Structure 1
Amino acid sequence: MTCYVFPGQGSQKVGMGETLFNEFSNETKQASNLLGYDIQELCLTDPNNQLNQTQFTQPALFVVSALSYLAYQKENTTQPTFLAGHSLGEYNALFAAKVIDFETGIKLVQKRGELMSQASGGAMAAIIGMSATDIAKTLASNNLPGIDIANFNEPNQTVISGQKNDIKTAQNIFEEAGVRRYIPLAVSGAFHSRYMEPAKKAFETYLESCAFSEPTIPVIANVTATPYTQTDIKTLLAKQITHSVKWVDSITYILNKQETELIEIGPGKVLTGLINKIKKGIETNTVTH
């Protein structure tokens, strides 16, 4: 029993996909034509320092993880029993489940990245060494109602999202409260929070013209931590922009279904690290190119 998981923003790095672009030259050309720039050049050399800008990060990660999946499937024809992705990675899970094809996935993440990049004035921070419950209590007791919880990554790592001043103010509060680390993230906006509502509304409109197929493999949604149905795909993809990524609950749901192995497909090992914190002793593997 196996589950494939796909990473989100933060896993990108210059040089990713090096072994994939020649192997999948047709898909690489298709991606570059759709995006309007050379995706191979962006990923391998990043000549204009764009790889960490969300409007470029999202298509780049989607393409590399999608090609990684196709390469892995060449050698492993058995199907996983579940799929999941962290934030952007959910689009790779939907691609693997044949809900969307490669072209649709690229168009969706390009639009998503463009809309999210337009949100300014926000910030995010990772809090390590405090439970999500205690984080919520600390925010409430210190009169910081403008901060949302963006990612429930693992029991002792939670990401918060809000206006820059609030995230800056929160640093002193949480450090005084004894958290192990408070790490401001290098992002351009307050992702997965109420402040992304304009992006969500615009993305909802864009999604109206998109067609989605029934998942061939169950995909766990970030918003609900339960499997997608065909009828809720558009709703959940839009909601994901403003809602928390329930990664702990998603992995717990999968493990409760007697999954014995989780394989991270795409750049890096971020999710593998989180999963090992959620459940010690679970078998994990990574597939990177």
Structure 2
Amino acid sequence: MVFAILFPGQGSQFRGMGKDAFERYPGLTQFACDVLDYDLVALCRDNPDDALSRTEYTQPALYTVNALQMFERTRREEQPADCYLGHSLGEYNALLAAGVFDFETGLRLVKKRGELMAAASGGGMTAVMDTPAPRLLDILGQDGVEGLDIAGFNTDAQLVIAGPAEALRAAHASFKERGIRFAPLRVSAPFHSRYMEPARAEFERYLKEFTFAEPTAEVVANVSGRPYEQGAIVATLSRQLVEPVRWTDSVRHLLARDPRFACEEVGGKSLLRMVEKIRAAAVPDPSPIEKPVPDREIRALI
């Protein structure tokens, strides 16, 4: 049976995260604080001024917590993975786990990525429910809403769109008129869309300053929903900023390998719930990993 480990991305952060991991790995924790030049432990513990919701802080914090939890899993010699998947930011933890770069390199990458994404402005993102992509694009076209990109395919029943604030307001009006459920996300810019091109270009230049190894295990890329190709680290990570997160296709890739694949999520269950929804839509009576949990709120990872 194929076994995959999943790493969550932005949207999964919460006040108090990482407490146990920081205590178990004080040396690595202090090293991360030195690289970031701020007290990461205090940030996660106290969340002053809601700093954990700010992209430049969220991304290094999540990367570090995910990494420490994965180090602990490895220390306990738990079942190794055949495949790693990460949702957006989580892909950096997947690449770390597969030996593409070391902890410090990954931390410096996500620090730069978070800063570039935080510097972008002038738009936002919205989760849209129960509206397949072709139908969604048709609705926006019929209602004259232009300038929006699909930024994420989280499940068959949840997409994320991104674009300028004016276009999103027009889309929201259209959705209300048509009875389509949606939820604006708490982000400062249209991530994973064409509007991140300046950030993508600068991040690509930064990525070229580093040397990367080939993955020691399969890592499924967000931009393609398929395993990383040889020599494609720089191109794939830079493209991730402007292209949608193809989480549904990534999970379908695993289903094609093994319809009953098993998986474990580092630090939570949000991705496991997505996996089970995708599996249920693709495979009748799938003997799921866990009983699907109904949505109690509209929430999207980005």
Do they superpose with TM above 0.5? Answer: yes
Aligned runs of 1:13-24 on 2, under 5 Å? 13-24=14-25
Aligned runs of 1:199-218 on 2, under 5 Å? 199-218=199-218
Distance 1:42 1:164 in 2: 29
C-alpha spacing 1:83/1:284, structure 2 compared with 1 (3 Å): farther
Identify the residue that residue 44 of structure 1 maps to in structure 2. Answer: 45
Identify the residue that residue 145 of structure 1 maps to in structure 2. Answer: 146
Is 1:122 the counterpart of 2:123? The answer is yes
Identify the residue that residue 248 of structure 1 maps to in structure 2. Answer: 248
Please say if residues 262 and 284 of structure 1, whose CA atoms lie closer than 8 Å, have aligned partners that are also in contact: no
Distance 1:175 1:2 in 2: 41
Please say if residues 220 and 226 of structure 1, whose CA atoms lie closer than 8 Å, have aligned partners that are also in contact: yes
Identify the residue that residue 56 of structure 1 maps to in structure 2. Answer: 57
Identify the residue that residue 288 of structure 2 maps to in structure 1. Answer: 282
Aligned runs of 1:52-131 on 2, under 5 Å? 52-131=53-132
What is the identity percentage for the equivalent residue pairs of Structure 1 and Structure 2?
A: 43
Please say if residues 254 and 261 of structure 2, whose CA atoms lie closer than 8 Å, have aligned partners that are also in contact: no
Distance 2:161 2:13 in 1: 21
Distance 1:168 1:80 in 2: 43
Runs of 4+, deviation exceeding 6 Å = none
Query: Letter of the aligned partner of 1:278 in structure 2?
Result: I
Identify the residue that residue 135 of structure 1 maps to in structure 2. Answer: 136
Gaps of 5+ in 1: none
Identify the residue that residue 187 of structure 1 maps to in structure 2. Answer: 187
Identify the residue that residue 166 of structure 1 maps to in structure 2. Answer: 167
Distance 1:82 1:203 in 2: 26
Query: Letter of the aligned partner of 1:228 in structure 2?
Result: Y
Distance 2:79 2:263 in 1: 14
- The alignment partner of 1:231 has SS state of coil
Please say if residues 31 and 39 of structure 1, whose CA atoms lie closer than 8 Å, have aligned partners that are also in contact: yes
Gaps of 5+ in 2: 281-286, 292-302
Q: State the shift of 1:284 in Å.
A: 5.2
Identify the residue that residue 239 of structure 2 maps to in structure 1. Answer: 239
Distance 2:111 2:147 in 1: 28
Q: State the shift of 1:45 in Å.
A: 1.3
* Bigger Cα displacement from structure 2, 11-20 vs 140-149: 140-149
Identify the residue that residue 6 of structure 1 maps to in structure 2. Answer: 7
- The alignment partner of 2:265 has SS state of strand
Q: State the shift of 1:79 in Å.
A: 1.7
Distance 1:27 1:141 in 2: 53
- The alignment partner of 2:145 has SS state of coil
Alignment length (residue pairs): 283
C-alpha spacing 1:284/1:115, structure 2 compared with 1 (3 Å): farther
Distance 1:69 1:134 in 2: 39
Identify the residue that residue 284 of structure 2 maps to in structure 1. Answer: none
Query: Letter of the aligned partner of 2:104 in structure 1?
Result: E
Please say if residues 221 and 250 of structure 1, whose CA atoms lie closer than 8 Å, have aligned partners that are also in contact: yes
Please say if residues 193 and 241 of structure 2, whose CA atoms lie closer than 8 Å, have aligned partners that are also in contact: yes
Identify the residue that residue 223 of structure 1 maps to in structure 2. Answer: 223
Please say if residues 215 and 229 of structure 1, whose CA atoms lie closer than 8 Å, have aligned partners that are also in contact: no
* Bigger Cα displacement from structure 2, 119-128 vs 134-143: 134-143
Distance 2:169 2:49 in 1: 29
Distance 1:175 1:23 in 2: 49
Q: State the shift of 1:23 in Å.
A: 0.5
Query: Letter of the aligned partner of 1:227 in structure 2?
Result: P
Query: Letter of the aligned partner of 2:211 in structure 1?
Result: A
| TM-score, structure 2 normalization | 0.91
- The alignment partner of 1:230 has SS state of coil
| TM-score, structure 1 normalization | 0.95
Query: Letter of the aligned partner of 1:105 in structure 2?
Result: G
C-alpha spacing 1:12/1:111, structure 2 compared with 1 (3 Å): same
Q: State the shift of 1:138 in Å.
A: 1.4
